[in-house]
């Protein structure tokens, strides 16, 4: 296979590696948000329960000042709970699951591109067969991308860092041969085989 075709296959392999990683980073970010929201709800509910208990104590002691303070606290906690629920009414669980599923789809596609790289380097299949397989994988890549939930710039930076790419702000989705080689077994490095 010619080197230009191999370069394009390697590019899409790297894209799959990166997209797999960025969607896992999005999944992790959403898990952290979900845990934070759960903790906030727990704190508000706990404080509300404490206020109710203190209300009962205030009624038993017939302490009007305590009851006045506690009723204001109860109002504040109820208001805080309502406002928090309003701003966090979106269930992120579905999006979180979508990110994980998309990451898994990119992982499968990554392995298929790696297999195609191996076949291209070893010349075990005709160039025509390799192009047909590449075009099929490219169609799958496109379908996965169209059905993917959005990621954030923070997810992008975390994916870059975790893949050892640094924080190069002057590029997006471009790859050097050495960067792609980081993701491949040594037998499939381009400088060793071309």
pLDDT by residue (tens digit) across 101-147?
A: 999 999 999 999 999 999 998 888 888 999 999 999 999 999 999 99
pLDDT by residue (tens digit) across 24-79?
A: 999 999 999 988 888 988 888 888 888 888 888 888 888 888 888 888 888 888 88
For CA atoms 105, 110, 116, 122, the dihedral sign is negative
| Nearest residue to 53 via CA among 69, 70, 40, 76 | 70
Mean pLDDT, residues 150-167: 88
Q: In angstroms, rounded to a whole number, what is the distance separating the alpha carbons of residues 128 and 124?
A: 12
- Reduced DSSP (H G I as helix, E B as strand, rest coil) percent helix, strand, coil of the chain, to 5: 80, 0, 20
The neighbour count for residue 164, using CB atoms within 10 Å, is 9
Q: In angstroms, rounded to a whole number, what is the distance separating the alpha carbons of residues 40 and 180?
A: 42
What's the pLDDT score for residue 1? 59
As a residue count, the chain comes to 194
H/E stretch holding 130 reads helix 127-146
What's the pLDDT score for residue 168? 62
For CA atoms 43, 45, 48, 49, the dihedral sign is negative
pLDDT by residue (tens digit) across 162-183?
A: 988 876 655 666 788 888 888 8
DSSP code of residue 188: G
What's the pLDDT score for residue 124? 86
């Amino acid at each position: 296979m010619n080197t230009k075709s191999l370069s394009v296959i390697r590019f899409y392999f790297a894209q799959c590696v990166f997209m797999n990683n960025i969607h896992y980073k999005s999944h992790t970010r959403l898990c952290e948000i979900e845990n934070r929201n759960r903790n906030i709800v727990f704190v508000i509910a706990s404080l509300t329960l404490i206020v109710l208990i203190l209300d009962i104590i205030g009624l038993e002691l017939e302490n009007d000042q305590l009851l006045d303070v506690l009723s204001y606290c109860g109002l504040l906690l109820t208001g805080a709970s309502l406002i928090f629920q309003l701003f966090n009414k979106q269930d992120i669980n579905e999006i979180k699951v979508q990110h994980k599923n998309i990451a898994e789809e990119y992982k499968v596609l990554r392995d298929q591109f790696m297999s195609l790289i191996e076949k291209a380097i070893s010349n075990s299949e005709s160039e025509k067969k390799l192009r047909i397989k590449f075009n099929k994988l490219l169609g799958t890549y496109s379908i996965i991308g169209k059905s993917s939930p959005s990621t954030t710039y923070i997810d992008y930076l975390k994916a870059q860092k975790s893949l050892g790419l640094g924080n190069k702000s002057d590029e997006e989705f471009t790859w050097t041969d050495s960067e792609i080689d980081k993701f491949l077994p040594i037998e499939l490095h381009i400088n060793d085989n071309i």
